[in-house]
Amino acid sequence: MDAFRAIADPLERYVYLRTLQRGDTETFYRALISRPLELMPFVYTPTVGEACERYHELPTPVNGVYVTADDAGAVGAKLRRHWKEEMAWLSRGVGGASAAARAEGASHGDERVAVAVVTDGERILGLGDLGAGGMGISEGKILLYTVCAGVHPSTCLPVCLDVGTNNKKLLEDPNYKGLKRERLKGEAYDALVDEFMREMRAWQPNCLVQFEDFGNSNAFRILEKYRTTGPCFNDDIQGTAAITLAALLSALRATKGRLEDQKILFYGAGEAGVGIGELIAMAMEKTGMSHKEAMERCYFMDSKGLVCKSRLDGLQHHKIPFAHDVEYQPDLASAIAAIEPTALIGVSTIGGAFTQDIVKSMCALNERPIIFPLSNPTSKAECTFEQAMEWSDGRVVFASGSPFDPVVRKRDGVKVFPAQANNAYVFPALGFAAALTDASQVTDDLFLAAAESLSAITSDTEIDAGHLFPDMNSIRDVSVTLTAEICEMIVARGLGHAPKGVKTHEDWLEYIQSHQYHPGEERLASKL
């Protein structure tokens, strides 16, 4: 930790940690597990954004498997070979899992892969098409399954589908190591994704596949195509939805508001926004509202203005359910005036879009406005915590995608903390639950349950201080609770099964704890 702290530059810290991961794997995991709050920003957001941009310049070895457009027809063989040969350092490095234990539950005599994170690099955070550099995001996210939930690292596989890139800068860079051609599209693209999914299912039928940072023209389609064919989900759509709903439920405890009274305006109508809108509507329906009424509480702006009925012609498919019968508004200020939202959620990748005037107009409508500038990385956040606090005179209830420093509230000198809507609170627990129950599918109601449960275990003290979520340093305990609740729900829905002798909530808690990976211990690998 002393050596790490002596490094000032975030990217150098990233390289330091990645080097440690290969050189002394158990120490790497021990450090991350014991200090997630301090270390996670250097293996995941925000630093991972820059790491992906400069991936081909970094001295760090690749930890995942590239499936390229040229592998078409031989994807299965590549996955198997890579897992056996290239990933051997990982099982050596985390010697806790015996090969026999890892093999339990796997097909074809190969060792088990419990979770795979796959990207095609087209929309990395808010940074756009980073081609083969997208591997950094799969490598970063996969770590969180281990650090936050306890999935054994030797059962985790990062994947990047290198289908080319439309990023001119990368195509012209002599050092870029990905395929130097335009992105595959249409049938050829779909065929490669299809081959990847078929081969994953044939090789590792129970493996949870997490889709990560696909462009939104592919993300929704891919999710729809595969969501009922085996355990998979899209974290940008469904994971973000769960963490944001959890933030909203906690925010309502701060404002003393009711979910059914909220009107939410989304600035940005992509994967994150639409996923959040759909899950919020699902939660509202539970309060007795009809589906239509619930959907009509969520309004969206995209780069062309308010999404509404008069724009139906030519509107992207995923926005259509939110094209309500309201007057078109060209910009955010006029949309706020017309809709009078109680909450404003930024998922636009437009840094600084929530100006002083915008925040003040939310304050004019609400005693405690809920403002969540979720765009990542930090440079893309619609406003900073400091700005939101100052412009709202400390009245804002705030959550952002990237971390910000706390602020001392001017009117009473109290130190207030920003909440970070970090997907890491949800997807690792969900993935662990899917793996432990051999879930056949991951359904939206599991994300709803995870959101409700995460908010419920956040204490009033944490909410009063601004956090909206439990302490990130207790993420492993939080994940045990969430994992148990999700396991129970998977079993109750008939989507998976409980291990022998596991019946009650307490049984689940004990079972999950005994299967969490702890660096240097053997016990955890009995199932995974």
Nearer to ligand NAI, 216 or 441 (CB): 216
Least distance in angstroms from the C-beta of 382 to ligand NAI:
9
Task: Enumerate binding residues for ligand NAI (CB under 6 A).
Answer: 123, 125-126, 216, 236, 240, 243, 267-273, 301-303, 347-350, 374-376, 380, 401, 421, 423
- What residue is closest to ligand NAI based on CB? 270
141 is catalytic: yes
Say which residue the tokens 């940072």 belong to. Answer: 213
Find the length of the chain. 528
Nearer to ligand NAI, 123 or 141 (CB): 123
Residue 234 forms beta bridges with which residues? 211
| Omega before residue 341 within 30° of 0, cis | no
103: burial class by Cβ within 10 Å (0-12, 13-18, 19+)? middle
Residue 253 DSSP symbol: H
For helices 75-85 and 186-203, the axis angle rounded to 10 degrees is 50
**Cβ proximity to ligand NAI, 33 vs 124, nearer residue:** 124
Cβ–Cβ < 8 Å for 397, 379:
no
Residue closer to ligand NAI, measured from CB, 424 or 439: 424
Nearer to ligand NAI by C-beta: 388 or 502? 388
User: Which amino acid is located at 369 in the chain?
Assistant: P
**Shortest reach from residue 427's CB to ligand NAI, in Å:** 10
44 is catalytic: yes
Nearer residue to ligand NAI within complex by CB, 272 or 442: 272
Sign of CA dihedral 374, 487, 147, 130: negative
| Secondary structure (3-state) at 89 | helix
Count CA atoms closer than 13 A to 327's CA, side-chain side: 8
DSSP string, 345-360: EE-S--TT-S-HHHHH
Q: Least CB distance from residue 48 to ligand NAI, whole Å?
A: 11
Among 29, 55, 141, 380, the active-site one is 141
Selection from 415, 359, 405, 361 nearest residue 383 by Cα: 359
Name the amino acid, one letter, at 355.
Answer: T
Task: Read off φ and ψ for residue 209, nearest 5 degrees.
Answer: -105, 120
Q: What whole-number distance in Å separates Cα of residue 98 and Cα of residue 102?
A: 6
Please identify which of the residues 29, 44, 299, 511 carries the catalytic annotation.
44
CB of 238 to ligand NAI, least distance (A): 10
Q: Is 307 in contact with 300 (CB distance < 8 Å)? A: yes
Q: Which residues of 10-26 are buried (b: 16+ CB within 10 A; e: fewer)?
A: bbebbbbbbebbeeebb
Residue placing its CB nearer to ligand NAI in the complex, 17 or 52? 52
**Residues noted as catalytic:** 44, 141
